[in-house]
Amino acid sequence: MRIGLLGTGHVARALAAGWARAGHDIVLGSRRPQDTDLLTELKELLDAGVRVGSPSAAAAHAEVLVNATPGTASVPLLESIGAPALAGKVLLDIAVGYQEDDTLSHPEVSLGEEIQRAFPRTPVVKTLCTVDSVVMVAPGSLEGPSTVFLSGDDADAKRTVSGLLADLGWPQGSVLDLGGIVTARGQEHFALLFIGIARATGSFGFGIRVVPPAAP
């Protein structure tokens, strides 16, 4: 599958490596695709066949476009690419607008909802924002099973994203569909608890698991 990733930070790099290993065709979208220092940092990915282009080039390449940009910058970046270029593509949204003062930039709704409203012809699926970049691509590194969530209005888009999660090592039983894109609020607001857990345990490398009630 052709995947475009918006961003070149830890999340985008981890996902690019994971999906490249699974045989997908990856383009990273950067505002500075010719920057020598950036290309040096990305050498291992480039050697694995990942390419680097502009955000618009990544979008043009993609069947699935992944938003791995800072949540406070996501909508303006997508607007710069333009709605016509995004129409019909699945947009896998990972970003959270977490600010330096420990608050969220989207306190009343979610970034996922905001993106979906701005681009109604682009099905948005929120996922992977409840774990760090290491666990995203290596859920088996945890001591036990963990849960990852899906939020989105388009059933076909969620099936596509579920397949990409499987390619990263997430078993079907670990994927919990929360419902429509409005449920992305819960995923994004978990960032506040995530930071609290990370500070309390001294690690970002953990997962969460939904534990069902015991049978009567």
pLDDT in tens, 164-177: 999 999 999 999 99
Contact call for residues 185 and 109 (beta carbons, < 8 A): yes
Which of helix, strand or coil describes residue 33? Answer: coil
Structural fold of domain 2-201: Rossmann fold (3.40.50)
Answer yes or no: is pLDDT of 101 > 90: no
pLDDT in tens, 4-29: 999 999 999 999 999 999 999 999 99
pTM score: 0.95
Angle (deg, nearest 10), helices 155-167 and 10-21: 80
Distances (CA, A) of 179 to 45, 149, 174, 186: 34, 10, 15, 11
Residues of the chain with pLDDT > 90, as a percent, come to 92
Written as one string, the DSSP assignment of 57-102 is HHHHH-SEEEE-S-TTTHHHHHHHH-HHHHTT-EEEE----B-TTS
Q: What is the mean pLDDT of residues 38-65?
A: 96
Q: What is the pLDDT of residue 89?
A: 97
Domain map (residue ranges) of the chain: 2-201
Give the H or E element holding residue 143: none
Q: In what order do the strands lie in the sheet with 64-67?
A: 51-53, 25-29, 2-6, 64-67, 90-93, 124-126, 148-152, 175-179
**Residue 127 CB contacts under 8 Å (≥ 6 apart), including other chains:** 92, 93, 94, 148, 149, 150, 151, 161, 165, 187
Answer yes or no: is pLDDT of 153 > 90: yes
CA 196/CA 199 separation, integer angstroms = 5
147 compared with 212, residue with greater pLDDT: 147
Answer yes or no: is pLDDT of 184 > 90: yes
Record the tokens describing residue 189, joined without a space: 């607001």
**Residue 32 CB contacts under 8 Å (≥ 6 apart), including other chains:** 38
Q: What is the pLDDT of residue 126?
A: 98
Answer yes or no: is pLDDT of 134 > 90: yes
Answer yes or no: is pLDDT of 99 > 90: no
Q: What is the mean pLDDT of residues 185-211?
A: 95
